[in-house]
Amino acid sequence: MTESTTPGTSRAAGKDLRLEGVTKRFGDFVAVDDLTLTVPQGSFFALLGPSGCGKTTTLRMVAGLEEPTTGRVLIGAEDITNLRPYKRPVNTVFQSYALFPHLTIFDNVAFGPRRRGVKDYQQKTRDMLKLVQLEPYATRKPAQLSGGQQQRVALGRALINEPGVLLLDEPLGALDLKLRRQMQIELKRIQTEIGITFVHVTHDQEEAMTMADTIAVMNAGVIEQMGAPGDLYENPETTFVANFLGQSNLIMVDVGDTSGRAVVVDCHGQKVGVESTRSHTSAGKGWLGVRPEKIFASPAGLENHNGSNVLTGGRISDVSFVGVSTQYLVRMPWGQELMVFEQNTGQRAAFKNGDEVDLAWSRAHAFLLDADQDAQAGMMTPEADT
Amino acid sequence: MTEAVTTPPAPPAPVVDGENARRRGWGWLLLIPGMLWLAIFFLFPTVQLFFTSLYDPSGSFERGYAMTWHVANYADAIIDTSNLFVRSFMYAAITTFVCLLLAYPLAYAIAFKSGRWKNVMLVLVIAPFFTSFLLRTLSWRAILSDQGPVTSFLQTIAILPDDGRLLATPVAVIAGLVYNFLPFMTLPLYASLDKVDYRLIEAAGDLYSSPFTGFRTVTFPLSLPGVVSGTLLTFIPASGDYINAELLGTPKQYMIGNRIQAAFLTERNYPWPRACRSS
Ligand SMILES: Nc1ncnc2c1ncn2[C@@H]1O[C@H](COP(=O)(O)OP(=O)(O)O)[C@@H](O)[C@H]1O
Ligand SMILES: [Mg+2]
């Protein structure tokens, strides 16, 4: 019987997860398009993207629940593309948890070890219940637990197998905000403690940024950009990433001199500079991007902005006070409204509607993107945040 | 993560006492139509049946029966027919078991593998009921007859001796019962298999279960309600059936249903069969 099949050979160290040119088609529809990525062993990797972009499909191909149309899945040097799910050193925390309703919490968690014929599965199960803080609930059925507790059962049931890679499909999606924040910290703690590779799927950019070592931003079946959360946020390469991670002001500019350390661009008649490492387009038109919290607004003509980029001629058109900060909309001479967030440090009085301001930011804080892209790509729509 | 150890206090009851009481007062009224129906068509006949079973057996349909609290009717019934009881029980048990073996894969295929043909297949399961029970059983007589294709085939491959027959044997009666009661097993099984969340089966696979182990540890336990109701729906009517034994068997294969039917309709002995039924 396959019960005793232990994926022992594939559980050793030095096992990065690799997808090579993985494509998945459903009929004519391409759900995942030629995906290539490496998840280093022991890292917390987040796959971030809006609903329907192919995150679950990607995870299912790693778990073996879906077969790639083309491409390969590897763990270390071993090609697992054609391995049946139950033979893979991979476990999943399902989006719906998929707890076995007819089994107690103890038996749910003990399910994996028992199938693999682990001798001291009872002790291991008790230890795991302790780790996920569910000891008092061992004899209950899943239906008798709260959402957060069920989530921890699903986590414990997968973790107890000490998989080479743990796949988490929006594991916190069903929890309310407060519990979600708690569980994010908890998940991160557990991952650091046991050092298993986590591939965490989410559509919540804040969740991805607080938890992951590396984020891959996915859109319509392809990875737009991959990197550390800070790098992605500070130096996005596409308008989708610029908008999906936080918020950005995108201004259409003419790209001028690209020979120096800084690229000079013409922003509706005013010259500003962008560091060349942060420029992702070469000539012609471009999108100049600045994060709203990077912009410093000052009364028109009053301050000297040595070394900074400055745009003059702005006029405050909207003020909203949100406690820690005040968010302004500033109408520029060419008609566009830019967002400016300012910390409420109390150092100076807030602006009022109609005040004339200059906007300044450091050269190290802007980025330049290819003009062919949609400036609205990746903007948060209300229904995308469900 | 304190949420794990402190159970939140139960929320205060939102309804005030008076309103609560009023709700309870109205709720049971909904039971009245069903209760009346049961009282008239189930409780009353059952009580009547019970009293009839205690009539003096020397009476007759024409002369009428005297109520003599003749408990001995029960003893007579049991002694008279104990072999019929045992045989009915055996036939019904075998029928139920064979039905389970045939219906489970069928229901499983309809629930998980039939895709857009699901509804068509369900209709096909129940469609034979458009034809009367009697006619369908009669056609089994033709199928199993001595010159019929099944018998000749089994003789050719030497499973059955050359002078062997199917009709008028227990095999024929059980085959007929299985055929007639298969939908009663299939439909409840389908209903509970269809409710099994496919993601649970995937989860079992993710947790090192081969397809067979996943079936044994997840799918089958979750379909048990269907197994229980299918078993009841097959076993109970099969044990009371007399048509199959009558048409496909001989008096040697008669079941308790045949005896009751004969006593009622031919001998007009009323107290006796009612004792059978009640016991
Ligand atoms: N079995 C399937 N058959 C057809 N289309 C599917 C199937 N599974 C997923 N899709 C489609 O593939 C796309 C990606 O789905 P999914 O990976 O679940 O997205 P995500 O998890 O990122 O929200 C969706 O448009 C979805 O409709
Ligand atoms: Mg999904």
Q: Tell me what ipTM this predicted complex has.
A: 0.82
Asked if A165 and A199 touch (Cβ cutoff 8 Å), the reply is: yes
- For residue B20, what pLDDT is reported? 55
State whether A195 and A329 are in the same domain.
no
| Residue B44, both tokens | 């009353």
**C-alpha of residue B114 to centroid of ligand 1, in Å:** 21
- For residue B121, what pLDDT is reported? 93
State whether A253 and A345 are in the same domain.
yes
**C-alpha of residue B211 to centroid of ligand 2, in Å:** 24
Residues 126-185 of A with CB under 8 A from B: 133-134, 136-137, 146, 148-149, 152, 157-158, 161, 179, 182
Looking at per-residue confidence, does B247 or A100 come out higher?
A100
A185 within a domain of the structure (yes/no)? yes
Phi/psi of residue A59, nearest 5 degrees: -60, -45
Phi/psi of residue A369, nearest 5 degrees: -120, 160
Which residues fall within 8 angstroms of residue A8, CB to CB, at 6 or more apart?
A: none
Where along chain B do the CATH 1.10.3720.10 domains lie?
Answer: 79-270
Residue type present at position B2:
T
Question: Lowest mean pLDDT: which of A92-96, A122-126, A182-186, B190-194?
Answer: A182-186
Residue A214: is its pLDDT beyond 50? yes
State whether A261 and A359 are in the same domain.
yes
- For residue A350, what pLDDT is reported? 86
State whether A217 and A260 are in the same domain.
no
Q: Can you name the CATH fold of B79-270?
A: MetI-like fold (1.10.3720)
Question: Lowest mean pLDDT: which of A146-155, A228-237, A250-259, B156-165?
Answer: B156-165
Within 10 A of B77 (CB to CB), how many other CB atoms are there? 26
Mean pLDDT over A274-299 rounds to 90
Residue B64: is its pLDDT beyond 90? no
Residue B109: is its pLDDT beyond 50? yes
Instruction: Decide if B221 and A102 are in contact by the 8 Å CB cutoff.
Output: yes
- Cα–Cα distance for residue pair A370/A339, rounded to 1 Å: 21
**C-alpha of residue A57 to centroid of ligand 1, in Å:** 6
- For residue A62, what pLDDT is reported? 95
A112 within a domain of the structure (yes/no)? no
A241 within a domain of the structure (yes/no)? no
What kind and span of H or E run contains A254? Answer: strand A249-255
Supply the CATH number for residue A83's domain: 3.40.50.300
Asked if A109 and A124 touch (Cβ cutoff 8 Å), the reply is: no
- For residue B265, what pLDDT is reported? 75
Instruction: Decide if B206 and A133 are in contact by the 8 Å CB cutoff.
Output: no
State whether A211 and A303 are in the same domain.
no
* B13 DSSP 8-state letter: P
- For residue B5, what pLDDT is reported? 44
* Percentage, residues of chain A above pLDDT 90: 69
A137 within a domain of the structure (yes/no)? no
Q: Nearest residue CA, atom 16 of ligand 1?
A: A54
- For residue B148, what pLDDT is reported? 84
Nearest neighbour of B200 by CB, restricted to A2, A100, A179: A100
Residue B201: is its pLDDT beyond 90? yes
State whether A202 and A294 are in the same domain.
no
Mean pLDDT over B33-61 rounds to 84
State whether A253 and A214 are in the same domain.
no
Q: Nearest residue CA, atom 27 of ligand 1?
A: A52
What is the per-residue DSSP string for B27-70? HGGGGHHHHHHHIIIIIHHHHHHHHHTTB-TT-BTTTB--B---
Residue type present at position B29:
L
Mean pLDDT over A62-85 rounds to 94
State whether A170 and A201 are in the same domain.
yes
pLDDT tens digits, residue range B215-270?
Answer: 999 999 999 999 999 999 999 999 988 888 888 888 888 888 888 888 777 766 66
- For residue B73, what pLDDT is reported? 79
How high is the mean pLDDT of chain B?
84
Q: Report helix, strand or coil for A22.
A: strand
- For residue A32, what pLDDT is reported? 95
A64 within a domain of the structure (yes/no)? yes
Supply the CATH number for residue A302's domain: 2.40.50.100
Give the chain B residue nearest A187 (alpha carbons).
B1
Mean pLDDT over B68-94 rounds to 82
- For residue B79, what pLDDT is reported? 74
- Cα–Cα distance for residue pair A251/A244, rounded to 1 Å: 17
Mean pLDDT over A295-312 rounds to 84
State whether A285 and A184 are in the same domain.
no
Residue showing tokens 């019987």? A1
Instruction: Decide if B3 and A84 are in contact by the 8 Å CB cutoff.
Output: no
| Residue B75, both tokens | 């003893």
Mean pLDDT over A90-113 rounds to 95
User: Which one of A234, A260, A292 terminates a domain?
Assistant: A234
A251 lines ligand 1 (CB under 6 A): no
- For residue A301, what pLDDT is reported? 81
Mean pLDDT over A206-234 rounds to 94
- Cα–Cα distance for residue pair A98/A103, rounded to 1 Å: 12
B10 at the A interface (CB within 8 A)? no
- For residue A357, what pLDDT is reported? 93
- Cα–Cα distance for residue pair A146/A175, rounded to 1 Å: 10
Within 10 A of A366 (CB to CB), how many other CB atoms are there? 26
Going by C-alpha positions, the residue among B216, B186, B188 that lies closest to residue B201 is B216
* A239 DSSP 8-state letter: H
A67 lines ligand 1 (CB under 6 A): no
B206 at the A interface (CB within 8 A)? yes
- Cα–Cα distance for residue pair A338/A327, rounded to 1 Å: 10
How high is the mean pLDDT of chain A?
89
Q: Which ligand is nearest to the CA of A51?
A: 1
Distances (CA, A) of A177 to A174, A181, B188: 9, 6, 42
> Per-residue confidence at A319, pLDDT binned at 50, 70, 90?
very high
B4 at the A interface (CB within 8 A)? yes
Q: Nearest residue CA, atom 21 of ligand 1?
A: A56
Distance between A118 CA and the closest CA of chain B, angstroms:
12
Looking at per-residue confidence, does A376 or A219 come out higher?
A219
Going by C-alpha positions, the residue among A175, A110, A97, A172 that lies closest to residue A138 is A110
pLDDT tens digits, residue range A18-35?
Answer: 999 999 999 999 999 999
Within 10 A of A276 (CB to CB), how many other CB atoms are there? 13
Q: How many residues does chain A have?
A: 386
Within 10 A of A9 (CB to CB), how many other CB atoms are there? 8
Burial B79-91 (b: 16+ CB within 10 A, else e): eebeebbebbeeb
Residue A109: is its pLDDT beyond 50? yes
pLDDT tens digits, residue range A126-136?
Answer: 999 998 889 99
Q: Report helix, strand or coil for A163.
A: coil
Residue A374: is its pLDDT beyond 80? yes
* Percentage, residues of chain B above pLDDT 90: 37
Distances (CA, A) of A62 to A19, A43, A151, A211: 8, 16, 21, 21
State whether A39 and A167 are in the same domain.
yes
Residue showing tokens 């033979």? A87
Within 10 A of B259 (CB to CB), how many other CB atoms are there? 21
Give the chain A residue nearest B6 (alpha carbons).
A136
- For residue B275, what pLDDT is reported? 67
Going by C-alpha positions, the residue among A365, A361, A330, A137 that lies closest to residue A234 is A365
Question: Lowest mean pLDDT: which of A56-60, A146-150, B15-19, B206-210?
Answer: B15-19
Instruction: Decide if A136 and B5 are in contact by the 8 Å CB cutoff.
Output: yes
A110 within a domain of the structure (yes/no)? no
- For residue B21, what pLDDT is reported? 53
Rg for chain B, CA atoms, rounded: 26
- For residue A383, what pLDDT is reported? 46
> Per-residue confidence at A15, pLDDT binned at 50, 70, 90?
confident
Going by C-alpha positions, the residue among A385, A324, A181, A7 that lies closest to residue B207 is A7
Phi/psi of residue A196, nearest 5 degrees: -85, 145
Looking at per-residue confidence, does B5 or A67 come out higher?
A67
Q: Which ligand is nearest to the CA of A96?
A: 2
A51 lines ligand 1 (CB under 6 A): yes
Instruction: Decide if A149 and B4 are in contact by the 8 Å CB cutoff.
Output: yes
A52 lines ligand 1 (CB under 6 A): yes
A26 lines ligand 1 (CB under 6 A): yes
According to DSSP H, which parts of A64-176 are helical? 105-115, 121-131, 147-159
Q: Nearest residue CA, atom 19 of ligand 1?
A: A52
A153: exposed, middle or buried (Cβ count in 10 Å: 0-12, 13-18, 19+): buried
Number of domains in chain A: 2
Residue A12: is its pLDDT beyond 50? no
Q: Report helix, strand or coil for A33.
A: strand
Instruction: Decide if B207 and A3 are in contact by the 8 Å CB cutoff.
Output: no
Determine the structural domain holding residue A214 and report its residue range. 3-89+163-234
State whether A221 and A261 are in the same domain.
no
- Cα–Cα distance for residue pair B181/B184, rounded to 1 Å: 5
pLDDT tens digits, residue range A230-254?
Answer: 999 999 999 999 999 999 999 999 9
Q: Nearest residue CA, atom 8 of ligand 1?
A: A57
Q: Nearest residue CA, atom 5 of ligand 1?
A: A26
A384 lines ligand 1 (CB under 6 A): no
A197-202 vs A44-48, strand pairing mode: parallel
